[in-house]
Copies of this chain bind each other. A is one copy, B any other.
Amino acid sequence: MNKSTQCEASEMLKRAGISPSYQRIMVLSALLETDEHPSADTIYKKLGTNIPAISRATVYNTLNLLVDRGVIHSMRTAGSETRFDSVCEAHSHFFCRKCKRIFDVAQQSGEIETELDGHLVESQDLVYKGLCRECRGEMIK
């Protein structure tokens, strides 16, 4: 665990008005250190090896709290689990309906809306669905 990431996590928590407990810092740090889109359970398992260990409920509670406060984002594009994302910038995902993987793709549209029909837009996610390179190849076979 990177010390400066933990420091950053603590700052982010304070800025969001959340008291920076040991567990919360651990959860947010784990999310900041990866560019995959981990599930709550993945984070729980990653932190499970730590002493002291963190309870599953705390991982879920913390992630939900962070989403509520707009510190992180959640994705339910694919599979059965909710996946979390600490990247603030708008970015796109490609979801393969066959193998269920998520691929990051460069943001196409330059337009970033800030308001729509009176709704306050905090983030936008362009999700493409279809068949990925590999599954597409297999279909032709």
Contacts and interface: CB of A to CB of B under 8 A. Distances in A.
Interface of A: 67-68, 70, 73, 76-78, 94, 96-98, 103, 105, 108-109, 111, 113, 116-133, 136
B133 A129 contact: no
A58 to B, nearest CB: 20
Contacts of A73: 129
B136 A130 contact: no
Nearest to A132: B119
A134 B34 CA distance: 35
A94 B109 contact: no
Nearest to A110: B109
Nearest to A118: B133
Contacts of A76: 76-78
